[in-house]
Structure 1
Amino acid sequence: MGSKLKNVLIGVVKTRRDLEMILRERAYRMPVEAAPKRAPRYIAFYQPSSVKEKGGLIKVHPAGFDGTIRYWAPIKEKTKLPRVAIVPDEPDHPKAQESYWLIKLGPIRKLPRPIANKRRMRVVFGFTTLQKLKNSREVKDLFDVPPLEEITEELLKDMRLPYRRQFIVRLSAKKRYRLDFALIRKRIAVAVECDGKKSHGRPEQKIKDAQKDADLRNMGWSVVRLKEKQILTDLKSCRKKLLGVMVRV
């Protein structure tokens, strides 16, 4: 019965330091504001693709940080602390005084085979079952998420609109955005975002989406957001929306 409960949290590990903290200290830190309301029993760790750009040409992926889930562990306890108490050698960090959960872990376990993110899904804190964690080969199989990007991609192909998927737009040396799709022609740059109900329905995500849209528009991009229900039940309106923005720009 327990294997069918969604009691496994997928956490994100962005740095080698955090990975070493997990493997050596059996501990994981998570911002309180980003943490789910319900308590998980287990946690698995997604290591996103880490990209370093040199001259905008060379991309280096440190070992292990290649968009996979390799490790998981049972959760023993958690304590709320300011970030500086967990990472004391970064007292001047912008989030030094923000609240984090310090999660103490049981034995760290390695999956028989890594779970790959072949579709480049955006992974945020989400729940899955222990059964799915042990048997899935792709990240998309962990969640009950409709294939919104796949449906949209087929629509773009049908419309014969040239596109680039998971396109990176860099605002500065430290800030960048990843677009679900970019439609780029002469004098035309359109960002197409597929908004899942779960991932984009939260108030904090809506704020981030609005900021992203504003930043992109300031750079000369047009932005089209296609909602989950629209993609699943009304592709005709999606087509109309895309054609409308292509004509305007």
Structure 2
Amino acid sequence: MRDPGDWRILQQNGWYRIPVSSVNKWLKNKWPPQWIAFYHTRVFGPDKYTIQYYAKVKRIRETTRGKLFPREPENQKTSLRYYKISVEELQKLPRPIVSRRMRRIIFIPTTYERFNLAEEINDLYEGNSLEELIWRELKKHGIPAEREELIRGKSGNYFLDFAIYCHTGKLDVETDGDAWHSTKKRIASDDIRDNELETLGWRVLRFNSKQILDSMEDYCLPAITMNIKKLGGVKE
């Protein structure tokens, strides 16, 4: 939620809008939602970088901006297509779901169970089994990491599995499922990605499924903590 005007519409009229192009780009097979929650950005002052409100979706229909805002003078955006999401009454969480860092968030598809259990934004992300193992271990050992951190590079956008910000550098921890990352094409793609991230100041650690499943305590965690130490410790 970036616009207080959109927030007023949601509170007073019970609907929210998402561009059809954004759904096609970011949500793909995660659409349509049964519930929707709202992340407040910095324009919301004391409520910034938190999720405090959510609602059950009543209906979704595709329409144009011109029909959503009939009093708005016609302009180049008038014909843009949106999903109008009508919701039931807004509900407030007993405690906010907070973001530790001032990060930009686009969409986070999640489950109702995860949403109810989440203490912070990163708890909402639903990764594969290897990512979930790493996440549980990082939390258990008090290592703050950002999941699915969006980094923009020359060759495209990259979503990091786990971004750890340190005093003298940045650490990217990646989980490589053997079937996904073992092809020549994928290896070449990973090399390009890693080279670009390193150019942007990231140190990349990759762990395969065997290392994560068999050597988490003996290899993966020591490698992560050693690199954090070399980078001056975690930057809170």
User: Normalising by the residue count of structure 2, what TM-score does the alignment of the two structures yield?
Assistant: 0.53
Structure 1 residue 103, shift from structure 2 partner: 0.9
What letter matches 1:105 in structure 2? V
Q: 1:112 to 1:183 in 2, by over 3 A?
A: closer
Matched, 1:35 2:27: yes
Structure 1 residue 114, shift from structure 2 partner: 2.5
Hey, what does 2:10 align to over in structure 1? 22
Question: How big is each residue's C-alpha offset from its partner over 1:127-154, in whole Å with a ceiling of 9 and x where there is no partner?
Answer: 322x664565444555655263564588
| Residues 76 and 104, structure 1, Cα contact 8 Å, conserved in 2 | yes
SS of residue matched to 1:32:
helix
| Residues 110 and 126, structure 2, Cα contact 8 Å, conserved in 1 | no
Matched, 1:128 2:111: yes
Distance 2:39 2:191 in 1: 26
Moved more, 27-36 or 228-237: 228-237
RMSD value over aligned CA atoms? 5.2
Alignment of 1:1-249 (within 5 A): 13-30=1-18, 31-33=22-24, 34-37=26-29, 38-48=31-41, 50=42, 62-67=45-50, 69-82=51-64, 86=68, 91=75, 99-117=81-99, 124-129=107-112, 133-134=115-116, 137-139=119-121, 146=132, 148-149=134-135, 151=137, 180-183=163-166, 185=168, 189-194=169-174, 216-219=197-200, 221-224=201-204, 226=206, 229=209, 232-233=212-213, 234-235=215-216, 236=219
Structure 1 residue 180, shift from structure 2 partner: 1.4
SS of residue matched to 1:44:
strand
Distance 2:142 2:96 in 1: 31
Distance 1:144 1:169 in 2: 19
Structure 1 residue 80, shift from structure 2 partner: 2.2
Question: How big is each residue's C-alpha offset from its partner over 1:43-77, in whole Å with a ceiling of 9 and x where there is no partner?
Answer: 222335x28xxxxxxxxx7132232x221222122
Moved more, 29-38 or 225-234: 225-234
Structure having the larger proportion of residues in helix: 2
SS of residue matched to 2:6:
helix
| Residues 17 and 82, structure 2, Cα contact 8 Å, conserved in 1 | yes
Structure 1 residue 109, shift from structure 2 partner: 2.1
Identity percentage of aligned residues: 18
